[in-house]
Amino acid sequence: MSGFIDFTNCRRIVDKAYNGANGKKIAVEYEGRQYMLKFPPSGQSKPTELSYTNGCFSEHIACSIFNMLGVAAQETILGTFDVAGKAKIVCACRDFTIDGKQLFDFCSIKNTILDSDSNGSGTELSDILETIEKQQFVEPGRLLEHFWEVFVIDALLGNFDRHNGNWGFLYNPVSKSTDLAPVYDCGSCLLPQADESVMRSVLENEDALNKRVFQFPTSAVKLDGRKINYYDFLTKAGNADCNKAVKRIFDRLDMKKIHQFIEETLYISELQKAFYKKYIGARISLILAPAHEMILADEPGAD
């Protein structure tokens, strides 16, 4: 099969390093562009049915779906890298901080709001919305739309870790301008801990699937101190700005396109392909579709 990429012999960029958890990261040059290679985290210290070996697949598929749905995300490529004689599957994420651009995460922006009692890492929804309104880096209305669109797509993809440190803005010191950063760090989408037994269970057992749709994963964003349950929050249709985002994202959904992309994704097995299609389809039909119906039913003039 064509399209397989080996990053092993790519030029290493030694003056660039990346922080963050869940796996090693290095900078390389590939086809004249700078990429961050994300490696899967090492195995657990004790036996468990869950692992993080699917994190690179989650990163690539989730970022690609964000782009399909009209929300700009980092460009990603799957490939391999030889470590101690063993080829590891890695996710290459195009570096969007080139040309001197600086990434400011939302956590640091949140810390600039001096009259707020919440610290930068706090993910209480009311505090996040207050920061969006008061910050001066991006036009508040545009940032609010972006926040809710990301939230809705995270609900679709089952992201449990969209905290304040993995989304934000890009500052251009030359033009003195700030813009939204592409969506990045999506390795916590699509049940990255699921091994083959979990995948089969989700495919074959309706209760196992429903638990991973209605109960968990939850959002990292909190409401009254509790992590938001995506299904409960979206189907209550209680936030007008979120409702608008649900309508926009739902109207852009093209499952045929998503299925085709998954089918053409290299390195993943037939089991994984079936799992990703089933899981995404279930979250659309059981979360986004009912939320969309509720929103339309509550609109003025609805029958």
Antiparallel, parallel or unpaired: β 177-180 and 11-12: unpaired
Mean pLDDT confidence for 211-223: 97
Q: pLDDT tens for residues 228-249?
A: 999 999 999 999 999 999 999 9
Percentage of residues in the chain having pLDDT higher than 90: 81
Q: Rounded distance, CA 35 to CA 26, Å?
A: 8
pLDDT at position 189 over 80 = yes
pLDDT at 198 over 80: yes
Q: Mean of the per-residue pLDDT values for the chain?
A: 91
Q: Would you state the pLDDT for residue 47?
A: 38
pLDDT value for 41: 74
Cβ burial, residue 284 (10 Å; 0-12/13-18/19+): middle
pLDDT at 277: 98
Q: What is d(CA 182, CA 72) in angstroms, rounded to the nearest whole number?
A: 5
260-288: average pLDDT: 97
Q: Spell out a b/e string for 128-143, using b for 16 or more CB atoms within 10 Å of the CB, else e.
A: bbbbbeebebbeeeeb
Specify the pLDDT at position 5. Answer: 95
pLDDT of residue 113: 82
Stretch 253-260: mean pLDDT, rounded?
Answer: 97
pLDDT in tens, 109-153: 998 886 767 777 889 999 999 999 999 899 999 999 999 999 999
Q: How far apart are CA 230 and CA 162, in angstroms?
A: 13
Predicted confidence at residue 49, as pLDDT, reads 41
1-51: per-residue pLDDT in tens? 457 999 999 999 998 888 766 678 999 999 999 999 999 876 544 333 444
pLDDT at 59 > cutoff 50: yes
Span 104-114, pLDDT tens digits: 999 999 988 86
Residue 274 has pLDDT above 70, yes or no: yes
Query: By the 8 A CB rule, do 213 and 155 touch?
Result: no
- Residue 102 above 80 pLDDT? yes
Using alpha carbons, list the distances in angstroms from residue 70 to 179, 254, 297.
16, 12, 25
106, 245, 155, 52 alpha-carbon torsion, rounded to 10°: -50
> H or E element: which one contains 210?
helix 206-210
Res 33: pLDDT = 95
Comparison of pLDDT for 3 and 219, the residue scoring more: 219
Q: Considering the chain, what percentage of its residues have pLDDT values greater than 70?
A: 92
**pLDDT single digits (tens) 71-94:** 999 999 999 999 999 999 999 999
pTM of the model: 0.93
